[in-house]
């Protein structure tokens, strides 16, 4: 057992914790990341890797803008991480597509995009017809029902494990310490700092960052009895390798850089269950075969379920804890998409400054919690 003192403790070394640690490393503080070697709470290792901004959050325009901001920051970040670590990251900044299977679906998506454009002031996307879609992805024989797609140039795809790997590899290079250990709890100390008890010792710091995904709900309890975050179940199917024909990612049936295809888009509120429900994934598979019939002739090689970290109103939470201005909390269901914004735009908030203007509504205050 040891006792370690540092400037900033980050609990959670998933994509959020590592992105924040990397971003903070430029600010000249001693940083330790504590990351559980746990098989649970690992959305960072089970996600699709879409950098996805389009066709969402009309009801939360600032959150929609935040996604576009992150997507703009991404290319420079991945270049920087590649230079720093010497590792290549598979990533495509080629836009993204959502196929539509009926005229009604096409019109509804188009109407949504029109409203988004109005709400955001600008929107880098539009509806395209089947001919345009075929031009964009000529290697795919689309199903007969596919009549077009929503297109957005700000979307993309990154290998999510590659992203996590380079973020983690970058940490020692920027003098951040990464420790694999389970944090049991956070306790305020009389000197204004915090003590984090872990499986292998005690860590103390004047500032703590909570980035432990769903486990944040337990870790905040010294300051907040309940955190408005719940597990949101996603289930996916993995189809065997095919020649790579999808340089532009398609939402719902996305070909990975390795040639496999991940099918899945559902959100379910099912507690902590991470069992695959065959009936549920079958509906996703059926949809995917209508979009891309060739998938029906291929073998399924895996299926898995995993839990997203979902704030009750579907927006991110970036917040201080009530009565604890030096403890910041980060929970988002799209932490891959938002990773570049997390690296570049959130470290100052951790160090006591305000959130960027567009993210100011993302604190716990919106749930009636003073912070
Ligand atoms: C099926 C699926 C598909 C998805 N697809 C996408 C996508 O395409 N694009 C996108 O942007 N997002 C996607 N997401 C969401 C994305 O994966 C999550 O937003 C993201 O992983 C959250 O990252 P995180 O680091 O905040 O939390 P997590 O990934 O949950 O990481 C938390 C980390 O904290 C550690 N931890 C937990 N408890 C403790 C503790 N007590 N002490 C120390 N460490 C602890 C865990 O070991 C883990 O490393 C998807 C999610 C799912 C489930």
**88-106, pLDDT tens digit by residue?**
999 999 999 999 999 999 9
Residues 221 and 348 in one domain: yes
Segments of the chain assigned E as strands: 2-5, 8-11, 31-35, 50-51, 91-92, 96-100, 125-129, 148-152, 156-158, 176-180, 183-188, 194-198, 201-205, 207-210, 229-239, 253-255, 261-263, 300-311, 317-321, 324-331
Residues 260 and 189 in one domain: no
- The answer to whether the CB of 16 is under 6 A from ligand 1 is yes
What is the mean predicted confidence (pLDDT) over 236-244?
A: 97
Asked if residue 218 belongs to a domain, the reply is: yes
Residues 224 and 240 in one domain: no
Determine the distance separating the centroid of ligand 1 and the alpha carbon of 338, expressed in angstroms. Answer: 12
Determine the distance separating the centroid of ligand 1 and the alpha carbon of 256, expressed in angstroms. Answer: 19
- pLDDT surpasses 80 at 39: no
Q: Give the β-pairing of 201-205 and 2-5.
A: parallel
Q: Reduced to 3 states, what is the DSSP secondary structure of residue 114?
A: helix
Q: Which two tokens stand for residue 178?
A: 């990464």
Dist. CA 188–CA 224, nearest whole Å: 13
Where residue 257 sits, what CATH number does that domain have?
A: 3.30.9.10
Nearest CA residue ID for atom 22, ligand 1: 335
Residues 128 and 243 in one domain: no
Question: Tell me, what's the pLDDT at 272?
Answer: 86
Question: Tell me, what's the pLDDT at 274?
Answer: 85
Determine the distance separating the centroid of ligand 1 and the alpha carbon of 330, expressed in angstroms. Answer: 11
φ, ψ for residue 43, nearest 5 deg: -55, -30
Q: How many CB atoms lie within 10 A of CB 341?
A: 27
Residues 14 and 127 in one domain: no
Residues 252 and 145 in one domain: no
Question: Tell me, what's the pLDDT at 270?
Answer: 86
Mean of pLDDT over the chain = 95
Q: Of 153, 176, 200, which marks where a domain is finished?
A: 153
Nearest CA residue ID for atom 48, ligand 1: 14
- The answer to whether the CB of 276 is under 6 A from ligand 1 is no
Asked if residue 250 belongs to a domain, the reply is: yes
- The answer to whether the CB of 12 is under 6 A from ligand 1 is yes
Q: Reduced to 3 states, what is the DSSP secondary structure of residue 67?
A: helix
Residues 259 and 300 in one domain: yes
Domain that holds residue 121: 96-153
Q: How many CB atoms lie within 10 A of CB 53?
A: 27
Q: Which two tokens stand for residue 144?
A: 């007969």
Nearest CA residue ID for atom 27, ligand 1: 213
Q: Of 153, 178, 197, which marks where a domain is finished?
A: 153
Banded pLDDT at 42 (limits 50, 70, 90) = confident
Q: Which two tokens stand for residue 3?
A: 């006792």
Q: How many CB atoms lie within 10 A of CB 369?
A: 17
Determine the distance separating the centroid of ligand 1 and the alpha carbon of 136, expressed in angstroms. Answer: 31
**Percentage of the chain with pLDDT > 90?**
90
Dist. CA 291–CA 282, nearest whole Å: 14
- The answer to whether the CB of 160 is under 6 A from ligand 1 is no
- pLDDT surpasses 90 at 152: yes
**Index of the ligand 1 atom closest to the CA of residue 183:** 42
CA distance from start to end of the chain: 34
Asked if residue 100 belongs to a domain, the reply is: yes
Residues 235 and 347 in one domain: no
φ, ψ for residue 214, nearest 5 deg: -65, -25
Place of tokens 């109407």: 111
Q: Dihedral angle at the C-alpha atoms of 253, 77, 229, 352, nearest 10 degrees?
A: -170
Determine the distance separating the centroid of ligand 1 and the alpha carbon of 62, expressed in angstroms. Answer: 22
Dist. CA 271–CA 307, nearest whole Å: 9
Asked if residue 59 belongs to a domain, the reply is: no
What is the mean predicted confidence (pLDDT) over 259-266?
A: 93
- pLDDT surpasses 60 at 40: no
Residues 6 and 34 in one domain: yes
- pLDDT surpasses 80 at 119: yes
Out of 213, 267, 338, give the residue to mutate to test ligand 1, the one with the largest number of ligand atoms within 8 Å of its CB: 213
**Index of the ligand 1 atom closest to the CA of residue 308:** 53
Domain count, the chain: 3
- The answer to whether the CB of 337 is under 6 A from ligand 1 is yes
**Index of the ligand 1 atom closest to the CA of residue 236:** 1
Q: Are 18 and 339 in contact (CB under 8 A)?
A: no
**Which tens digit of pLDDT belongs to each residue from 282-333?**
999 999 999 999 999 999 999 999 999 899 999 999 999 999 999 999 999 9
Residues 101 and 219 in one domain: no
Residues 179 and 127 in one domain: no
- pLDDT surpasses 80 at 1: no
Q: Of 153, 174, 193, which marks where a domain is finished?
A: 153
pTM for the whole structure: 0.97
């Amino acid at each position: 057992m040891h006792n370690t003192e540092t400037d900033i403790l980050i609990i959670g070394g998933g994509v959020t914790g590592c992105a924040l640690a990397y971003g903070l490393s430029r600010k000249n503080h001693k940083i330790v990341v504590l990351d559980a070697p746990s098989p649970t709470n690992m959305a960072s290792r089970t996600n699709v890797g879409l950098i996805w901004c389009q066709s969402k959050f009309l009801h939360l325009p600032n959150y929609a803008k935040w996604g576009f901001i992150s997507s703009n920051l991404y290319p420079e970040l991945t270049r920087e991480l590649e230079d720093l670590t010497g590792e290549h990251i598979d990533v495509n900044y080629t836009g993204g597509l959502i196929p539509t299977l009926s005229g009604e679906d096409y019109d509804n998506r188009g109407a949504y995009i029109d409203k988004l454009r109005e709400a955001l002031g600008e929107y880098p996307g539009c509806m395209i017809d089947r001919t345009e879609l075929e031009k964009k992805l000529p290697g795919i024989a689309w199903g007969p029902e596919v009549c077009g797609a929503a297109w957005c140039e700000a979307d993309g795809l990154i290998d999510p494990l590659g992203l996590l790997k380079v973020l983690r590899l970058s940490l020692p290079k920027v003098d951040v310490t990464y420790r694999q250990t389970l944090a049991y709890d956070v306790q305020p100390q009389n000197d204004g700092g915090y003590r984090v008890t872990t499986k292998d010792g005690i860590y103390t710091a004047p500032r703590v960052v909570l980035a432990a995904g769903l486990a944040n709900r337990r870790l905040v309890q010294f300051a907040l009895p309940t955190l408005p975050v719940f597990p949101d179940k996603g289930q996916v199917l993995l189809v065997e390798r095919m020649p790579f024909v999808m340089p532009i990612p398609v939402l719902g049936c996305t070909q990975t850089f390795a040639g496999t295809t991940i099918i899945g888009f559902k959100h379910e509120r099912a507690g902590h269950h991470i069992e695959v429900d065959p009936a549920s994934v079958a509906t996703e598979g059926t949809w995917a075969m209508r979009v891309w019939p060739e998938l029906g002739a291929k073998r399924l090689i895996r299926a898995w379920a995993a839990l997203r970290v979902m704030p009750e109103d579907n927006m991110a939470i970036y917040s201080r804890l009530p009565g604890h201005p030096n403890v910041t909390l980060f929970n988002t269901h799209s932490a891959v998409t938002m990773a570049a914004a997390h690296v570049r735009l959130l470290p100052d908030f951790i160090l006591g400054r305000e959130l960027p203007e567009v993210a100011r509504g993302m604190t716990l205050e919106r749930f009636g919690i003073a912070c």
